[in-house]
Amino acid sequence: NKLSVSNASLSFNSTNLSQQNSTLFATGRDVNWTSSVSYANGNNWLSLNPTSGSLLAGNSTSIGFVANPTGLAAGSYNAMVTFQDANDASNSVAVNVALVVSNYTYYLPYLANNAAGFTSYVAVQNVGNVPATLTAQFYDQNGQNVNLQSAACSQLAANAECSGFNPFASGAQGTGVIVSNQPLAVIVAESTPFGSSAYAVGAGAASSLVAPLAINNSLNFNTQLNVANVGANATSVTVSFYDQSGNLVAGATKTLNLAAHAVAKLDQTAIDSGLAAGFYGWAKIEGAAGSTLVAQVLETRADIKFVALANAQVASASRVYAPAIFNNAFGGFSTGANIVNPNASPTTVTITYYDSTGRVYAATPVSLPAHGVAPVYQGGNSAGLPSNFYGSATISSSAGNIVVVVNEAGNTTATGAAQSGTYAAAASGSSLGLPVVANGGNGFVSGATILNTSEAAVSGTISYYNPDGTALAGHNQNFTIAAHASQPVYQGGVGLPSGFAGQAIVTQSSGTAGSLIVTTNVQNDSLFYTYTQPN
């Protein structure tokens, strides 16, 4: 009789905390097993699911390992997990787990202060459980250092929020970088001539990115792309454009020679863009080996005052989740998803729609050629969803990783402001920061949608905080969400004090670990934007 595991060692890095698994096997006889964790350094940074159980002889079970570096200083950590037969202490097996915690670095691909009418607003929340020390650096378009972070945002208490990371003089623009010893939730919002929008900024950068939208006057939409080299050395970057069928538009390929910390703007409507009027596709951004790049996409439709922002992404998942899918819901909101296959092989993508109770409403297959892109509109009768539909979607690829962004558009307000935004469909997590939450504070009101991506019910808590990180006493909200169900939470109507402006943490307390994704809308009479956590 013997317990054994498929992986006797696992390694995590604070920049990639995806769940890892090891299979536990029982041979010889039935086993009731338990588990224990022994930490060489640090405490309580590792969780298991399940932590105990029963195995029939010859059977196995998968154990999920999740590392959480919150509160840990930069460095290396080790733990040993022991699985033991409850009836035989000599029958045990161990898994060694390593965790490397790095400083968290967040690159801001484009910031402006009244440059061509664009003004940036950055909000940063400390989602660690201990105070964070932050440094920030800003560079102009040519990569020249322009300013350091003000002392006001150099320290953030646990759960605290800071805004105002924009030292540029009026008419100037460039990039920024924020380094923290604790994980942050970071969003960048832009006020533009067309309205406003926002996107979440994840930690780190990459040498290869996907810009999920590239449009030259297709259905009156246009895009422009800002590509930033956030590394300390100059680099060459190739930007290649693909149409919906996956064909490379050779005449549109651009080679950018970017100085360290410099940013370049590519306008898809420009005469020298190489993209024909009516072009609809996406762009692949590839830097030289070892380069570190980030990028931002601006999508506009002037005739309806539409604006949307997306952060260019790494194609790192074959299944992603869209927490908010609408067909003429909540006073006229509808969504449209843009699905990119960045791979050299074709794939079939299945979009499974769930209503807000978690019931499967429809499953739609979409065939994507190599390097192809598919726009899928949920409004009207396009996706077969009923009018007033409000729910979510799971987007799964049969082969290879995908990138998906969702446009969310409603009616214009009485002042003519656009009610529109873009969020990235993403994988899920267990503890999510919402850096901007309001009930009339600064004139804004927000609303969130929490999606449970798992096959079983989950429970958790929304905790609200003042900007300085102190808890908004008496206003925590507990929730239980059925499998694949979504729960809207309108912060203007949950009893928050009138005039409140702060932030929130959404924490899962039960169910399959890492099952939550949240999208948040923030609006006033003239601005509207959307952001999603995790990103």
Q: What would the pLDDT profile of 450-494 be if each residue is shown by its tens digit?
A: 999 999 999 999 999 999 999 998 899 999 999 999 999 999 877
Would you state the pLDDT for residue 190? 85
Token digits for 225? 């792309």
Non-local CB neighbours of 345 within 8 Å, separated by 6+ positions: 370, 399, 400
pLDDT (0 to 100) of residue 397 = 94
- The secondary structure of residue 382, as a DSSP letter, is S
| CA angle, residues 172, 182, 465, in degrees to nearest 5 | 85
What whole-number distance in Å separates Cα of residue 208 and Cα of residue 184? 23
d(CA 211, CA 188): 17
pLDDT, position 43: 87
Interval 117-170: pLDDT, tens: 888 889 999 988 778 888 888 899 999 988 666 555 788 888 999 876 677 888
Q: Please list, in sequence order, all residues whose beta carbon lies within 8 angstroms of the beta carbon of residue 162, skipping any fewer than 6 positions away.
A: 123, 124, 125, 134, 152, 153, 156, 467
Angstrom distance (rounded) from CA 432 to CA 469: 15
Cα end-to-end distance, the chain, whole Å: 45
User: What is the four-CA torsion angle of 80, 83, 89, 90, rounded to 10 degrees?
Assistant: -80
Burial (CB < 10 A; 0-12, 13-18, 19+), residue 170, is exposed
For residue 340, list its beta bridge partners.
373, 403
Q: What pLDDT is attached to residue 29?
A: 87
Rounded distance, CA 430 to CA 61, Å? 22
Query: Do residues 85 and 93 lie in contact, with contact meaning Cβ atoms separated by under 8 Å?
Result: no
pLDDT in tens, 213-229: 999 999 889 999 999 99
pLDDT of residue 134: 86
**For the chain, which residues score pLDDT lower than 70?**
1, 15-16, 147-152, 164-165, 304-305, 412-418, 535
The amino acid sitting at 155 is: Q
Q: Full-prediction pTM beyond 0.75?
A: yes
How do residues 432-457 score in pLDDT, each as one tens digit?
899 999 999 888 899 999 999 999 99
Task: Return the pLDDT at 46.
Answer: 92
Exposed, middle or buried, 388 (CB in 10 Å: 0-12/13-18/19+)?
A: exposed
Buried b (16+ CB within 10 A) or exposed e, 201-234: bbbbbbbebbbbbbbbbbeebbbbbbbbbbbeee
Is residue 505 classed exposed, middle or buried when 0-12, 13-18 and 19+ CB atoms within 10 A define those classes?
Answer: buried
